Amino acid sequence: MRTAVAVAAWAEWAEWICNRLQVGYRSRKPRIRGAFFLRLCCAHLSGGKPMSWWAWLVLGIGLLAVEMFGIDAQFYLVFLGVSAAIVGLLGLAGVAMPEWAQWLVFAALALITMVMFRRRIYELVRRTSGHVEQRLTVGDHVVVPVRLEPGQTCRVEYRGSSWSARNTDEVAIEPGREARIAHIDGLTLHIKS
């Protein structure tokens, strides 16, 4: 009884979301990416039957694709997608589970993997992308190629490579003028005239 009520509540909520996104079964151009995957999963829940293994795989791949190509959700969608894919692979391997067990395994896997691995993986990815090993010298000069208003950024050449440079001074820097590096923050040079 409780499972049927939960399925009905989920189906109502999912149908409302799908309608708010203006995505129908016959819709050719959904307003957001991933809405087709949501509609596929909603179709199974509206009938009150458990999601099949391929629906879990589609949901998992869809969540992974949205995280990788659509939005930066700081790896939360990656773990949800992997958890959904694992539930789908269990179904493909022949492990028969009722609907409540599928959702329970999905939720448990998502929570456990997020708690245990997300911070470490996120820090590992973030640490490698914005760190410069070479010793940089505050006080060096760079040539600003465009007029740079206070607070704006542009690209400058420094030691043979292109850098982001932000004007932290109170006055604009004219094109072709030299500016002094006042501070270095990751891959951004803070410059003053």
Per-residue pLDDT of the chain (193 residues; tens, 9 = 90+): 555 555 455 556 555 555 554 444 444 444 444 444 455 454 545 455 667 889 999 999 999 888 888 777 777 888 899 999 999 999 999 888 888 899 999 999 999 988 898 888 877 776 654 555 556 678 888 999 999 999 899 999 988 888 899 999 899 999 999 999 998 888 889 999 8
Type of residue at 39: R
Q: What is the pLDDT of residue 87?
A: 93
My answer on whether 161 and 66 are in the same domain is no
Phi, psi (rounded to 5 degrees) for 151: 90, -15
Q: What is the DSSP string of 60-76?
A: HHHHHHIIIII---TTH
Q: What is the pLDDT of residue 108?
A: 95
Q: How many independent structural domains does the chain possess?
A: 2
153 C-beta neighbours (distance < 10 Å), count: 14
**Boundary-marking domain end, from 129, 155, 174:** 129
Q: What is the pLDDT of residue 59?
A: 92
My answer on whether 154 and 177 are in the same domain is yes
87 C-beta neighbours (distance < 10 Å), count: 28
* 60 is a domain residue: yes
* 173 is a domain residue: yes
What is the three-class DSSP state of 170? Answer: coil
My answer on whether 124 and 145 are in the same domain is no
My answer on whether 53 and 112 are in the same domain is yes
The CA-based dihedral angle spanning residues 22, 25, 30, 36, taken in that order and rounded to the nearest 10 degrees:
120
* 110 is a domain residue: yes
My answer on whether 107 and 177 are in the same domain is no
Please state the pTM of the whole predicted model: 0.45
Joined together, the tokens standing for residue 109 give 């896997």
- 13, 38 contact by CB (below 8 A): no
* 16 is a domain residue: yes
Structural domain boundaries enclosing 65:
2-129
d(CA 162, CA 190): 14
* 136 is a domain residue: no
Q: What is the pLDDT of residue 96?
A: 86
Joined together, the tokens standing for residue 27 give 């819709």
Q: What is the pLDDT of residue 11?
A: 55
Q: What is the pLDDT of residue 88?
A: 92
CATH number, domain containing residue 180: 2.40.50.140
My answer on whether 114 and 149 are in the same domain is no
Residues 6+ apart with CB under 8 A from 180: 139, 140, 141, 191, 192, 193
My answer on whether 40 and 125 are in the same domain is yes
Q: What is the pLDDT of residue 10?
A: 52
- 55, 88 contact by CB (below 8 A): yes
d(CA 62, CA 36): 9
* 135 is a domain residue: no
My answer on whether 116 and 34 are in the same domain is yes
